[in-house]
Amino acid sequence: MLRITKRAGLTKKQIFLYRIIAVFAALVASGIFILALGHNPVAVYASMLEGAFGTLYRFKETIIKTIPLVITSLGICIAFKMKFWNIGAEGQIFMGAFAAAYFALNYPSMPMPLMLLLMAAAGFIAGGLWALIPAFFKAQFGTNETLFTLMMNYIALKWITYLQYGPWKDPKVKGFPMISKFNENGFMPKVLGIHAGWIIMLLLVVAIYIFMKHTKKGYELAVVGESENTARYAGMNIKRVIIMSVMLSGGLCGISGMIQVAGVNHTLGIEVTSGVGYTAIITTWLGQLSAPVILLVSFLFSILLQGGSYIQTAFQIPQAVAQLIQGTILFFILGSEFFIQYKLVFNKVQFFKSGKEAA
Amino acid sequence: MDWVAFFTAAVQAGTPLLFATLGEIITEKAGNLNLGVEGMMLIGAVAGFTVGLFSHNPALALMGAFAAGALSAMIFAFLTVTLRANQVVTGLSLTIFGTGVAGFAGKSLAGKLVPEDLKAAFVSAKIPLLGDIPFVGRIFFHQDWFVYLGYIMVILLGVYLYKTKMGMNLRTVGENPGAADASGIHISLYKYVHILLGGALCGLGGAYLTLVYVPAWQENITAGRGWIAVALVIFATWNPYKAIIGSYFFGALSLAGLYLQKFNMQISLFLIDMLPYIVTILVLIFISMKRVRENSPPKALGEPYFREDR
């Protein structure tokens, strides 16, 4: 008989080994595919690394891709810890970017530090409020938040599209509708050649790590996630914990949107998220809801993204293949979790025992 | 305004949504939330088109899309049912993967047209008697037979879910897998079969786009229809009969913007595009407030089932 049992006590080293095997298996699987396309997989992978690290410019691009992924994942992680399945990060990023852009576009003469602070605050509040809508209904009526937050993404997307093609369209730009660029007061300053978002990212990783591991509030939200009853017996105000944590979760996603408009795009537009809201769900999950691991996973994923777009030019391999490789790697890693948590047991002992008794 | 033409077009716009929605309903009824609809539709779209292009055979083209959809759902089923991976994350990964597969496979298909003989097979045909009903007949019974296949699917699925033993078992699996397991239902088998069937229907929905609606392959041809289907499942409260009404309604909404523009109405297209999602949210809130059991999401939706953990 083949039986599945829960595995107890794998060492960290073993878990790490399993993950490496999974990634390796994924690379082999997509390698076979690349081979079928008539390319040398090793050369393709090597050039992906080259695309992500080869020059200073490319390395900076990789970091720039990492920043929104990490900050958004941190936001999602807070909600997930509470078992509030917030998959609305995409919309929260949009709304954060929208609120930040509102101030940058309407008060262009404000001094830079004040402007950036205001944009960040607006981004946080807008992202947080956008997440609070589903949270309110979840707390009040138990409305399914997975589906609710998903729908909110599309409303936010259409809202930004509406602004870009309608009232906020820059009349000076001919052709493709665009919102006008911010005044330089609304640009995130650069530090070491990359916009200062990377410092914010690192600070947030530390802050969220401490918040989750070492503060009462962080503990409370984990308890609410584990069991609402326990939380109630312990005298926690569950609704308040939910509202506060979701506000923080959406707020961080909003900040991510603000950093994107102030640091990279310097304007608002539908391409501001470039799917980060969805990718971050994956990185959050693979990062096991732990801030430092999320940082690592997001960085690795950015290598995949940046390297993937590079092999396009280097090998004329279509962008679609990069997505295909991404998907394959994700499948393998998701599948490997099973072998970390469970083991297959071949029930020999019992089989022989019953045989003996029968004899 | 030509209302008959508008509603006829709405039915056609709603048909890919209908197939995908029915597919996602079966999947969710088995307790699995597969957010890979968009990916599965794309794979079905490219597969149906490719098979049609080479075989000139409508039945083979449909089977190709059906099989491709089921195969892509197989990845989801294997990961979430057998390997117990997180459903949301797996579904999202499937969408990335499907977009990649279809984008790659479609590279060589750009600019190709559906062969004339195949096009002729999908041309609109009037159903005798029913087609003679004024107004309604013109809208619903002067369509291509892909649309008619949609009607049949709705009825089949409705009867299956509510009138057969297997359908009842399926609902138990989605509501209370523990109880289903105790009563001897093979949970994994049920999940596998229905997830695959769901993916197959999503594949057909995609194929309608490439074979009939557009008809050609375009990069990212589904354009978010998979996500609308996820919304429609809620809108239809997991009921196939309401799904057909919802699909045509959402189909009409997707055209409304264009029609309004024609008449110089001062409403933005993009604000109208928001309506399906807003309506869906309202439905979601409403069903959670009323707590009507038959209208609620399957209780165990999104949760993996481990017998050993109980």
The beta-carbon neighbor of A324 closest among B97, B277, B285 is B97
Interface residue A155 vs chain B (CB under 8 A): yes
**Residue the block writes with tokens 């264009």:** B258
pLDDT, tens digit only, all 359 positions of chain A: 567 777 766 777 888 888 888 888 988 988 888 888 788 889 888 888 888 888 888 889 899 999 999 999 999 999 998 888 888 999 999 999 999 999 988 888 888 888 899 999 999 999 999 999 999 998 888 888 888 998 899 899 999 999 988 888 888 877 788 888 888 777 888 888 888 889 889 999 999 999 888 888 888 888 888 877 887 888 788 888 888 899 999 999 999 999 999 988 888 888 888 889 888 988 998 888 889 999 999 999 899 888 888 888 887 778 788 888 888 888 998 888 888 877 777 665 554 444 444 43
Under an 8 A CB cutoff, do A331 and B103 touch?
no
Which pLDDT does position B293 carry in this prediction? Answer: 63
Mutant choice from A288, A309, A334 vs B, greatest count of B C-beta within 10 A: A334
Helices (H) and strands (E) in chain B, counts: 13, 2
In angstroms, what separates the C-alpha of B300 from chain A's closest C-alpha? 12
Amino acid symbol at B103: G
pTM (2 d.p.): 0.85
C-alpha A140 chain-centroid distance: 27
Q: What residues are paired with A191 via a beta bridge? A: A194
Mutant choice from B277, B290, B295 vs A, greatest count of A C-beta within 10 A: B277
Which pLDDT does position A358 carry in this prediction? Answer: 41
Which pLDDT does position A356 carry in this prediction? Answer: 42
* Cβ atoms A67, A259 nearer than 8 A: yes
The beta-carbon neighbor of A151 closest among B95, B97, B281 is B281
Q: What residues are paired with B7 via a beta bridge? A: none
Of all residues in chain B, the one with the smallest CA distance to A285 is: B89
The model's pLDDT over A44-78, given as tens digits with 9 standing for 90+, comes to 888 888 888 888 888 898 999 999 999 999 999 99
* Cβ atoms A89, A82 nearer than 8 A: no
Q: What residues are paired with B143 via a beta bridge? A: B125
Taking the CA of residue A146 as centre, how many other CA atoms within 13 Å lie in the half-sphere pointing to its CB? 19
Under an 8 A CB cutoff, do B85 and A282 touch?
no
Under an 8 A CB cutoff, do B89 and A282 touch?
yes
The beta-carbon neighbor of A318 closest among B79, B98, B104 is B104
In angstroms, what separates the C-alpha of B171 from chain A's closest C-alpha? 19
Under an 8 A CB cutoff, do A320 and B94 touch?
no
- Which residue intervals of A142-237 are DSSP H helices? 145-165, 197-214, 216-226, 228-233
Query: What radius of gyration, in Å, describes the C-alpha atoms of chain B?
Result: 19
C-alpha B294 chain-centroid distance: 21
Ranges of chain B with pLDDT below 50? none
b (16+ CB within 10 A) / e for B59-68: eebbbbbbbb
- Contacts of residue A320, Cβ cutoff 8 Å, sequence gap at least 6: B99, B100, B101, B102, B103, B104, B106, B107
C-alpha angle A97-A100-A102 in degrees, rounded to nearest 5? 105
* Cβ atoms B205, B97 nearer than 8 A: no
* Cβ atoms B32, B195 nearer than 8 A: yes
Which pLDDT does position B308 carry in this prediction? Answer: 64
Under an 8 A CB cutoff, do B103 and A150 touch?
no
How many other CB atoms are found less than 10 A from the CB of residue A40?
A: 13
Say what percent of chain A tops pLDDT 70: 94
Residue A28 and residue B45: Cα distance in Å, rounded?
28
Mutant choice from B270, B289, B301 vs A, greatest count of A C-beta within 10 A: B270
Quote the ipTM score: 0.87
